[in-house]
Amino acid sequence: MIVLKNTWTGPLKALHRSNAALSLSVICLKEDMDYRSVQVARYILGLSWIYHGLFPKLVTVAPLEKELTATIGLSENLSILITQSAGVSEIIFGLLLLVFYKNRKLLLANILALVALCIFVAIQMPSLLIEAFNPVTTNVALIGLSYVLLRSKKI
């Protein structure tokens, strides 16, 4: 009986080891990208709420913000007070999103709030929906980032 020695065993084992290392590298890269995506979504969401609460509502009350709250029939002073209160609430909500971005209920509340705000604008000032920078494009993008966080394996 003749036994043939497989001379390819060594190179095949090396190839198998290199494929295993490559597979592990791809998995690590995917996990790293997933982590980065989660962090980008987290910071964009949180900082968007903070920005929208701080600048057009607290640092200076933007005329459009006053006009929007005035559509519900409030006096100018009460309208400004409600706008500023909303600003404080948005900053708090943004901070909560930055810290508790893994909380599913908070992310769902974020989506619900963005949809509700868009509906409010659609009812009170529908002309804003066709402006260059409008609540639809902003809110849909933020809802998309919320979806990224909800679907992430890190949550």
DSSP 27-40: HHHHHHHHHHHHHH
- Per-residue pLDDT band at 118 (split at 50, 70, 90): very high
- Residue 129 pLDDT level (bands cut at 50, 70, 90): very high
Long-range contacts of 128-136 (CB under 8 A, 24+ apart): 128/64, 128/68
C-alpha of 134 from chain center: 17
| Contact by Cβ (8 Å): 34, 155 | no
pTM: 0.81
pLDDT of 133: 85
| Residue recorded with tokens 């901070």 | 95
**pLDDT > 80? residue 14:** no
Can you give the residue ranges of every domain in the chain? 40-151
Predicted confidence at residue 10, as pLDDT, reads: 59
Residue 90 pLDDT: 98
pLDDT band for position 17 (cuts 50, 70, 90): low
Residue 33 confidence (pLDDT) = 73
pLDDT of 8: 54
Count of C-beta atoms within a 10 Å radius of residue 41: 22
